[in-house]
């Protein structure tokens, strides 16, 4: 063996020695995105095998916002489901991947619509603190299923709220905010430019201003995981009016509750106080211009006496956004 071969062999032993020495070393930096660190392989093991691999486990959490009927919660991956008929705790056994677990609702309640608010926390044995809640009221108008925000604009659904009873949820995040349909800032002038906020034409719907933006902003925020929020037509708002605790007759126009109701109105508003926790005894905007009196006014629904009404566009009213299922 010549000197060159001996030198190469010695260097090879040195390299191998340091290689095996480094294998036993614990690198001092902690970077889960760096494959040279322990934390990278630990994170990958947890995320791509331990948590991603299907296995039996339980989901434990709460349901809030139910009113008069049940909801079915299902795991599509294995088809397991449970029926929940009351607000409160639930526990569900599934066989699925904890990383990719999903829940859906093959049967929704009759009057509200539920969603997964928070999947909860994975403990290694199952999920805890899973939140199912129902932030929508559901009505059907002319064959279309409408999902109403249970909260007046300015406020937000709180699945843990107790203003209307423990487990029922409420609208205690924020507060109702009155808005003007159109103002001078938007170019509105009752005499010279009454249609400034509805495309310059009284047959068009509102397309600018604070009232319009109130529902458009919900699309940008994906409020309650939906992106098709809009202002409701005044005819659609009749579907959520209740003239008394016992009467649910259909409201059709200016007579409001005087036609189908009685003297026993709901306290504060002609909307179900459980379905709509902070409904205001006031007017709510539609996107439609009242085509009379010089186009200065807009259709509204008065949730005090339950009727169709009109108001000047620079006045204030409330907004309840709606989406279609």
Q: Is-above-0.85 flag for pTM? A: no
Between residues 247 and 14, the one the model is more confident about = 247
State the burial class of residue 43 (Cβ atoms within 10 Å of its Cβ: 0-12, 13-18, 19+).
middle
Cα–Cα distance for residue pair 316/313, rounded to 1 Å = 8
Is residue 179 within 8 Å of 317, Cβ to Cβ? yes
DSSP string across 250-279: PP-STTTHHHH--S-PPSS-SB-TTTSTT-
* Pairing status of strand 316-317 against strand 322-324: unpaired
DSSP string across 82-124: EEE-SSEEEEEEEEE-TTT---B-SS--SSEEEEEEE--EE-S
Residue 22 predicted with pLDDT over 50: no
Cα–Cα distance for residue pair 89/252, rounded to 1 Å = 41
The residue assigned the tokens 């708002």 is: 237
pLDDT tens-digit map of 91-147: 999 999 988 899 999 999 999 999 999 999 999 889 999 999 999 999 999 899 999
């Amino acid at each position: 063996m010549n000197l060159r071969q001996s030198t190469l062999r010695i260097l090879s032993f040195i390299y191998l020695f340091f290689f095996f020495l480094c294998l036993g070393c614990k690198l001092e930096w902690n970077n889960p995105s760096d494959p040279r660190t322990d934390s990278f392989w630990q994170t990958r093991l947890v995320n791509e095998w331990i948590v991603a691999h299907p296995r039996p486990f339980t989901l434990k959490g709460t349901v809030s916002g139910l009113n008069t009927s049940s909801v079915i919660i299902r795991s599509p991956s294995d088809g397991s489901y449970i029926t929940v008929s009351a607000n409160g705790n639930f526990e569900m056994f599934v066989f699925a991947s904890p990383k990719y677990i999903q829940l859906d609702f093959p049967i929704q309640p009759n009057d509200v619509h539920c969603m997964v608010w928070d999947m909860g926390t994975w403990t290694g044995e199952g999920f805890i603190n899973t939140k199912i809640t129902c932030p929508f009221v559901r009505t059907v108008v002319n064959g279309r299923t409408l999902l109403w925000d249970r909260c007046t604009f300015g406020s937000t659904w709180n699945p843990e709220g107790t203003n209307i009873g423990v487990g029922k949820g409420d609208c205690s995040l924020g507060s109702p905010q009155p808005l003007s349909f159109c103002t001078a800032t938007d170019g509105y002038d009752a005499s010279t430019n009454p249609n400034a906020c509805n495309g310059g034409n009284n047959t068009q719907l509102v397309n600018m201003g604070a009232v319009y933006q109130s529902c458009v902003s919900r699309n940008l925020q994906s409020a309650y995981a939906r992106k098709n929020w809009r202002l409701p037509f005044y005819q659609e708002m009749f579907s959520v009016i209740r003239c008394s605790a016992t009467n649910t007759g259909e409201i059709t126009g200016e007579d409001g509750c005087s036609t189908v109701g009685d003297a026993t109105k709901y306290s504060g508003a002609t909307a179900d106080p459980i379905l709509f926790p902070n409904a205001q005894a006031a007017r709510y905007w539609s996107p439609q211009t009242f085509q009379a009196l010089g186009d200065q006014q807009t259709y509204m629904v008065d949730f005090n006496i339950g009727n169709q009404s009109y108001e000047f566009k620079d006045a204030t009213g409330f907004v309840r956004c709606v989406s279609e299922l």
